[in-house]
A and B are shown apart, each in its own frame.
Chain A
Amino acid sequence: DTAVSQTPKYLVTQMGNDKSIKCEQNLGHDTMYWYKQDSKKFLKIMFSYNNKELIINETVPNRFSPKSPDKAHLNLHINSLELGDSAVYFCASSPPRTGGQETQYFGPGTRLLVL
């Protein structure tokens, strides 16, 4: 049973195209996240939804738009792809916040290459 899954695993596309990445979790968690890991392996938060409400929206170009149709799904749509968007995008989820020790569980990542 895959806890946090992402599709596709690999995405190779041309500059200027629009693409979407999908994420699903079957852990019953309330909160989901999108992270970007660049070529230097730095993992940075982009967005987070809690019960389908946007709670984190970091300084990200507005070409990136997250959508959460329900608590178990969080998608990321990217318009007008640029070379600098090439990275690994990780989805994660965590249970409801109680004491602040909630762990985030990561999906396998989507490797995006923009040519």
Chain B
Amino acid sequence: QKEVEQNSGPLSVPEGAIASLNCTYSDRGSQSFFWYRQYSGKSPELIMFIYSNGDKEDGRFTAQLNKASQYVSLLIRDSQPSDSATYLCAAQRGLTGGGNKLTFGTGTQLKVEL
């Protein structure tokens, strides 16, 4: 079992629709969960993170966390063609030597169609 699992997609949604991206994780010691967006040929850029159960909203993006089910999701409202990218879910746990370890899923490719 992979530590962080995502459906690789592609997930296709029409412009203006809600895109729903899902992720499960296996390490119950994970403290925070991150969503990164990666355009082809570019580096990952942070969209948002969440560490408490429930929802967290930031503009068109809402992250949801359910620690009991070990499930994280990202909703993108009013999807735009510029949202077309690969979305990486990551689980983070602290290390005894300081710093954190971030474990990524394989990413979900999102395509927003005109």
Q: What residues of chain A have their CB less than 8 Å away from a CB belonging to chain B?
A: 30-31, 33, 40-45, 48, 50-51, 53, 55-56, 90, 94, 96-97, 99-109
Contact = CB atoms under 8 A, between A and B. Distances in A.
Interface in B58-114: 86, 88, 92-95, 97-104, 106-107
Nearest to A104: B102
Contact of B88 (A43, A96, A97, A102): A43
Interface residues on B, range: 20 to 34
B43 A42 contact: no
Task: From B42, B45, B92, name the one whose CB has the most chain A CB atoms within 10 angstroms.
Answer: B92
A43 B42 CA distance: 13
Contacts of A97: 94-95, 98-100
28 contacts: A30-B99, A31-B98, A31-B99, A33-B102, A42-B107, A43-B44, A43-B104, A43-B107, A48-B101, A50-B97, A50-B98, A50-B99, A53-B97, A55-B97, A56-B95, A56-B101, A90-B44, A99-B51, A100-B32, A101-B51, A102-B100, A103-B49, A104-B34, A104-B102, A106-B43, A108-B42, A109-B42, A109-B43
Given A103-B34, A106-B43, A109-B43, A94 B97 contact: no
Contact of A42 (B31, B94, B102, B104): B104
Interface of B: 31-32, 34, 38, 42-46, 49, 51, 86, 88, 92-95, 97-104, 106-107
Contacts of A55: 95, 97-99
A102 B95 CA distance: 12
